[in-house]
Homo-oligomer: A and B are copies of this chain.
Amino acid sequence: MNAPRRGFDQQEFATRTAAAQTKMAETGMAGILLTTEPDVRYFSGFHTLFWQSPTRPWFLFIPATGKPIAIIPEIGADLMRRTWVTDIRTWGAPAPKDDGIGLLTDLLAPLASRGETVGLMKGHETHLRMPLGDYERLLAGLNGLKITDATEIVRGLRMVKSEAEIEKLTYICAIGSRTFEQVPEIAREGQPLEDVFRSFRREGLAQGADDVPYLVGGADTGGYHDVISPPSRRPLARGDVLMLDTGSNWDGYFCDFDRNWAIGRADDASRRAYDVLWRATEAGIAAARPGATCRELFQAMQKVITELDDQGGDVGRLGHGLGMQLTEWPSHTSWDTTEITENMVLTLEPSLGYGDGRVMVHEENIVIRASGAELLTKRAAPELPII
């Protein structure tokens, strides 16, 4: 598979912005102010790792009509000028006394004086990426401005991917699948888990990932005990179950899936757990069709999981949305009634507890098409593979 073209046509950003503006008009918002990397990138195409530095805030404002307006540190001006955004207002950040607040005030004051409403991301899975003190000072200077939650609008757009986004997601999932196929060459009895992690990251890069920022996992006799730890120096031993879970990315889009292996030999309990999760995933693939809800998808997987575990593990959900972030809305849980629609990209992530405090997780990535789920990841082996 050849690499897709990086970035997007300007038309993609125009379409996204117009779709947001239609929803804004329906709900009476005069604008949306965005502060996080994925939200700013989604509407502007501004793509830089510089967000890893927490020092500077960055803002993108979606007005009621027209292109987004960037209010950003001067250091980002050159890169922003290469996007479709043309109204770029900059200041010499960092400047604790006025880190963009003056520019934002100039932008929003006319709206405040008319008593208009501006949307901010205030809902689930969001946060405000600017100093809380600056936010309070900004509002204090904008008498009359009403703030509302724009999460529903942005969530609704970002959950359904364009073909160009799906192409990038397909590409990184294929890279992830090839990387996992190399694990039997990478992971051997006696090798410290920390070294397995390092080799996996190097392999992911060699296979074409831009980066492998997320890698967690575990290995222990007859099963691992948690799924979010950094690796220990403990050497892999015969009888271990090894799990690696990666979020690798390409051009700003993520895969997010995991694989399990037994080292030397597999114990019966782990084989059984693996089988249940493999079939739970099958049930999830079958249930993931346009018109179904996330709750139904959850129930389809949970029904299989309860053969072995009626606790449902402790990971809180059985999968989620995937795209510019490792995890996105929606959630496959009993409380999420989001309707699954064509061109959503989702993870299926059944998990269970077994034995004496052991857990097992499985994960695949899918895209929803008219006819149902299509796998983006190369399906895990039906039986726990032995290295």
Contacts and interface: CB of A to CB of B under 8 A. Distances in A.
Interface of A: 6, 47-50, 52-56, 73-79, 92-97, 99, 120-133, 136, 149, 197-198, 201-202, 205-206, 210-216, 225-230, 233, 247, 314-317, 320, 325-327, 331, 333, 335
A127 B54 contact: yes
A139 to B, nearest CB: 11
Contact of A54 (B74, B125, B201, B202): B125
Contacts of A131: 122-127
Contacts of A210: 197-198, 230
A314 B74 contact: yes
A325 B54 CA distance: 8
Given A74-B316, A202-B202, A316-B74, A49 B94 contact: no
Contact of A75 (B93, B233, B316): B316
A133 B129 contact: no
A366 B214 CA distance: 29
Nearest 6 pairs of A and B residues by beta carbon:
A122-B133, A78-B226, A50-B228, A96-B124, A53-B327, A122-B132
A126 B54 contact: yes
B132 A127 contact: yes
A159 to B, nearest CB: 14
A314 B77 contact: yes
A132 B126 contact: yes
A92 B335 CA distance: 12
Nearest to A233: B6
B97 A335 contact: yes
Given A54-B125, A54-B327, A96-B335, 20 more contacts: A48-B228, A49-B230, A50-B216, A52-B214, A56-B316, A75-B226, A77-B314, A78-B225, A78-B229, A79-B228, A92-B314, A92-B316, A120-B132, A122-B131, A125-B131, A128-B128, A198-B205, A198-B210, A201-B211, A211-B212
A235 to B, nearest CB: 16
Given A133-B123, A198-B205, A213-B213, A227 B75 contact: yes
Nearest to A75: B315
B213 A94 contact: no
Residue of A53, A99, A325 with most partner-chain B CB within 10 A: A53
A149 B97 CA distance: 15
A154 to B, nearest CB: 13
Contacts of A128: 127-128, 132
Contacts of A331: 55, 94
9 contacts: A49-B228, A50-B228, A54-B326, A56-B316, A122-B136, A127-B130, A202-B206, A205-B205, A210-B230
Given A77-B314, A201-B205, A99 B127 contact: no
Contact of A73 (B94, B132, B136, B316): B316
A212 B204 CA distance: 13
A122 B129 CA distance: 11
A16 to B, nearest CB: 19
Given A127-B128, A198-B210, A230 B47 contact: yes
